[in-house]
Chain A
């Protein structure tokens, strides 16, 4: 089958074009690096079928990162290249175009975002551009689908220029001359979006904006999530699903193997959705009653942040903080994604330049960024013990994040070079695109999580009925009870946590823990090891050796943090002071220790200067 490859700078709308051409659903956002692997789809023109490949965005075909390498390889394998060009940034985009035109492949250009260019006062003489480049140029507005039919019709007209390669300086001169011939810019006043754009990059206005955005995001996710979860618990699970399960329980004879698996244990002859640990009771409840409501709201908020173009601005504002943990601002994007699910976070880390950054992001995310499934359970269950205990959980994770980051930055050789990153313009997200993306993510969650949840609960029952939990409980008692102060049986939650962290948190409930034990359990579960799905991608992204190092760090950190809480919380320091203390100590440490990366980068600079 013939291959059509979409190539272009980051964030020019390649994925939008791709999804229109192929009808496939792909992740689209307003910041560079949403596509890290190529995506494949099919396009039928008349009788012929074509494979369409969406390359990750690249500024150049001379690769400097893993992502750019992928793009360069794909161009070489293409039968036709569609070069998607952002009409609002003609000069920089044409640099890549000039490189593409030197390859031995027919090229056609989609001059995208032509409407936005118009609004910005950029006028482009398309015929002239076509003439100068020697390949067809089709104007498109991919988000609305405008011009895409014309693009498909024009595909057979793609031209193979195979031009002589240019030197770097000549390339700029060439691009500059093309741009000056085809582009006119009319000066006009700032729109309110552009004023907001500048304001969010200035410290005086930018920091309050960060605070407002994060506060609103947190309030929305927790507040609305709780509201929906409460509503579902009362009406769906209390009123409809509960009685149905009670009937099923009776029908199964209120006991026996099948009953244990499907319904689980009964408490005073009744089902407790949080504690029964049956596939149809706790399993369904955790997934649909707790995780799904929080995750849906989280992804709505995240979708808005992604498509509006705010995330890269958050990255700029967070740069100073991120330097302390050996990273730069842009690494905050994988971490924000990690709050939804750690798997996409690890994948997004691929955009980062160095192995060092990828290692730090992956390790810190696995340890200190709990996914929304787990957070929902923590908020639901720890929250019941009082806000202070919930605060201790978050404060401990923050403390771990800072301290572990400082340590890795100090002891891992090399430094993380500071960032160079393009800030996309603000765009008002389209409701349709938002809902589509949300639908994809929620569907992804249900499809991927369900087997693990059901498998996890099945395993719990097998572990309990076979007596393995008791056996392991005795063996690991010194560790679990001695270090963490939890009952030996808690070892089962650590085993299940490898499958699903949300189920594991739920399993803390039947253990009858007191508040401090519950907090310790929740923190250790969050930090000790990633779930199986995350583990698999970590292994692929980091390789065996780094994954092994990372895993050791995770386990050591989790048990150290658990031990610290076991020693201090409630016995020496009351919960509210503990939470505040951890945050304050972490911030002081960050200031005192400072960024090792920064020092090393400046030393390096002095050497070269």
Chain B
């Protein structure tokens, strides 16, 4: 199931499948650790159009709504995979 970070539910896990938008945007996300193929767990959404927070490896990242909409994740059934890889 492919969902954007916004549409994922808190607690769901998945792998980043695609980052829509310019190359600069993808590169910037990559620098912070959010690159294609990376395992990711959604932590929360702050209100309907607020930022989304995610866990990758050992750290947490907050992504604004506009950007979170552009990050597509292949969601898998594994509820918990906290080793991150």
Query: A200 → chain B, closest Cβ, in Å?
Result: 10
B29: interface (CB < 8 Å): yes
A417 touches B46 (CB 8 A): no
Q: Does A202 contact B (CB under 8 A)?
A: yes
Assess whether A421 is in contact with B21, with CB atoms less than 8 Å apart.
Answer: no
Q: Which residues of B contact A272 (CB under 8 A)?
A: none
Q: Are B31 and A60 in contact (CB under 8 A)?
A: yes
Per-residue interface assignment for chain B, residues 1 to 23, with 1 indicating a CB less than 8 Å from any chain A CB and 0 otherwise = 00000000010000000001110
Residues of B with C-beta under 8 A to A92: 31-33, 57, 59
Most B-side CB within 10 Å, residue of A92, A317, A608: A92
Query: Considering the chains assembled together, what is the distance between the CA atoms of A197 and B62 in angstroms?
Result: 13
Query: Interface stretch among A247-255, A286-294, A442-450, A597-605?
Result: A597-605
Give residues of chain B (30-71) contacting chain A, Cβ–Cβ below 8 Å: 30-35, 37, 43-47, 49-51, 53, 57-70
Contact status A319-B64, CB under 8 Å: yes
Q: Do A197 and B66 have beta carbons less than 8 Å apart?
A: no
Q: A59: CB under 8 A from chain B? A: yes
B67 adjacent to A420 (CB under 8 Å)? yes
User: Could you tell me the distance between the alpha carbons of A120 and B55 in the complex, rounded to whole angstroms?
Assistant: 14
Asked if residues B47 and A203 are in contact (CB atoms below 8 Å), the reply is yes
Q: Is the CB of A320 within 8 A of B49?
A: yes
**Is B58's CB under 8 angstroms from A417's CB?**
no
Q: How far in angstroms is the closest Cβ of chain B from A364?
A: 19
A interface residues, tally (CB under 8 Å): 45
- Taking a contact as CB atoms under 8 Å apart, the answer to whether B32 and A420 are in contact is yes
- The reply to whether B60 and A422 form a contact with Cβ atoms under 8 Å apart is yes
Partner of A423, one of B20, B33, B57, B61: B61
Partner among A95, A202, A422 whose Cβ is within 8 Å of the Cβ of B10: A202
B24 within 8 A of A: yes
Please, which residues of chain B bring their CB within 8 A of the CB of A180? Answer: 85
**A317-B46, A329-B51 are contacts. A59–B62 as well, Cβ < 8 Å?**
no
Residues of B within 8 A of A (CB-CB), count: 42
Distance (Å) between the CB of B32 and the closest chain A CB?
Answer: 6
A111, B81: Cα distance in complex, Å: 26
B66 touches A89 (CB 8 A): no
Q: What distance in Å separates the Cβ of B62 from its nearest Cβ neighbour in chain A?
A: 4
Q: Which residues of B contact A316 (CB under 8 A)?
A: 46, 51, 53, 62
User: Known contacts being A59-B31, A64-B28, A187-B82, is A418 close to B59, with CB within 8 Å?
Assistant: no
Instruction: Provide the bound-state CA to CA distance between A87 and B7, in Å.
Output: 32
Residue A62 at the chain B interface, CB threshold 8 Å: yes
Is B49 in contact with A598, judged by CB distance below 8 angstroms? yes
Instruction: Determine the chain B residues whose CB is within 8 A of the CB of A168 once the complex forms.
Output: 27, 30
* Interface residue? A398 (CB, 8 A): no
Q: Is the CB of B59 within 8 A of A423?
A: yes
Interchain CB contact under 8 A, B49 and A423:
no
For residue A554, CB closer than 8 A to chain B, the reply is: no
Q: Is the CB of B66 within 8 A of A206?
A: no
- Residue A609 interfacial (CB < 8 Å): yes
* Cβ–Cβ contact B21 & A319, under 8 A: no
A91 at the A/B interface (Cβ < 8 Å)? yes
Q: Is A556 positioned at the interface, with any CB of B under 8 Å from its CB?
A: no
Task: For the complex, give the distance between the alpha carbons of A304 and B38 in Å.
Answer: 34
Contact residues of A between 309 and 368, Cβ < 8 Å to B:
312, 315-317, 319-320, 328-329
Instruction: Let me know if B61 and A601 touch, CB within 8 A.
Output: no
Contact in complex: B27, A598 (CB < 8 Å)? no
Complex-state Cα separation, A422 to B31, whole angstroms: 11
Is A122's beta carbon under 8 Å from chain B?
yes
Checking B24, B28, B45, B46 against A420 with a beta-carbon cut-off of 8 angstroms, the contacting residue is B28
Q: By the criterion CB–CB under 8 Å, are A422 and B53 in contact?
A: no
Among A202, A425, A601, contact of B59 (Cβ-Cβ < 8 Å): A425
Chain B residues within an 8 Å CB radius of A203: 44-47, 50
Q: Which of A186-213 contact B (CB under 8 A)?
A: 187, 197-198, 201-203, 206
Name the one of B44, B46, B66 contacting A602, with C-beta atoms under 8 angstroms.
B66
Q: Are B28 and A598 in contact (CB under 8 A)?
A: no
**Contact partners of B85 in chain A: CB under 8 A:** 180, 185
Q: A320 contacts B32, CB within 8 Å?
A: no
> Who on chain B is nearest to A425 by CB?
B59
Cα A534 to Cα B34 with chains together (Å): 37
* Contacts known (A91-B33, A419-B63, A421-B62); A320 close to B50, Cβ less than 8 A: yes
B69: chain A residues within 8 A (beta carbon): 605
Residues of B within 8 A of A418 (CB): 51, 63-68
With both beta carbons as reference points, the residue of chain A lying nearest to B46 in the complex is identified as: A203
- Minimum C-beta distance from B18 to chain A (A): 11
Q: Provide the bound-state CA to CA distance between A203 and B45, in Å.
A: 7
CB contacts (< 8 Å) of B33 on chain A: these are 89, 91-92, 95
Chain B residues with CB under 8 A of A423: 53, 59-62
Instruction: State whether B27 touches A62 (Cβ < 8 A).
Output: yes
Interface residues of A in 384-429 (CB under 8 A from B): 417-425
With A89-B59, A420-B29 as contacts: A328 and B64 at CB distance below 8 Å: yes
CB < 8 Å neighbour of A206 from B30, B31, B46, B49: B46
Contacts of A64 in B (CB 8 A): 24, 27-28
Q: Are A320 and B67 in contact (CB under 8 A)?
A: no
Q: What 9 new A-B contacts, CB under 8 Å, besides A88-B58, A329-B51?
A: A62-B27, A89-B57, A122-B58, A203-B47, A206-B46, A417-B67, A418-B51, A423-B61, A598-B49
27 A-B pairs with C-beta separation under 8 A: A59-B31, A64-B28, A91-B57, A92-B31, A92-B33, A92-B59, A95-B30, A95-B31, A185-B83, A201-B60, A202-B10, A202-B44, A203-B46, A203-B50, A319-B62, A320-B50, A328-B64, A418-B64, A419-B62, A420-B34, A420-B61, A423-B53, A423-B59, A423-B60, A423-B62, A605-B21, A608-B22
Could you list which residues of chain A lie within 8 angstroms of chain B, going by C-beta atoms? 59-60, 62, 64, 88-89, 91-92, 95, 120, 122, 168, 172, 180, 185, 187, 197-198, 201-203, 206, 312, 315-317, 319-320, 328-329, 417-425, 598, 601-602, 605, 608-609
Q: Using a CB–CB distance below 8 Å, which chain B residues touch chain A?
A: 10, 20-22, 24, 27-35, 37, 43-47, 49-51, 53, 57-70, 82-85
Nearest 6 pairs of A and B residues by beta carbon: A418-B64, A59-B31, A92-B33, A423-B60, A418-B66, A601-B66
